[in-house]
Amino acid sequence: MWAGTNLGAVTVKSNDVINGTIDSSAIFAGQLLDLDGVTSAAQLAKLALAKLGAISVTGSITNSQLVAGGSIGAVTVGKNLTDSLILAGAMFGGDQALGGGDDTFQRVAAIASVTVKGALARTSVAAGGEFRG
Domain ranges of the chain: 2-127
Radius of gyration of the chain measured on its C-alpha atoms: 14
Q: Could you tell me which residues are beta bridge partners of residue 104?
A: 91
Residue pair 59/19 in contact (Cβ under 8 Å)? The answer is yes
| pLDDT for residue 131 | 64
Residue pair 12/21 in contact (Cβ under 8 Å)? The answer is yes
Residue pair 88/107 in contact (Cβ under 8 Å)? The answer is no
| pLDDT for residue 18 | 73
pTM of the model: 0.87
Nearest to 79 by CA among 62, 55, 101, 96: 62
| pLDDT for residue 97 | 80
| pLDDT for residue 129 | 76
Phi, psi at 126, each rounded to 5°: -150, 150
Q: Could you tell me which residues are beta bridge partners of residue 55?
A: 10, 75
Residue pair 116/96 in contact (Cβ under 8 Å)? The answer is no
Q: Walk along the chain (133 residues) in steps of 10 and give the mean pLDDT of each run.
A: 78 85 92 71 76 96 94 96 94 78 82 98 89 61
| pLDDT for residue 19 | 87
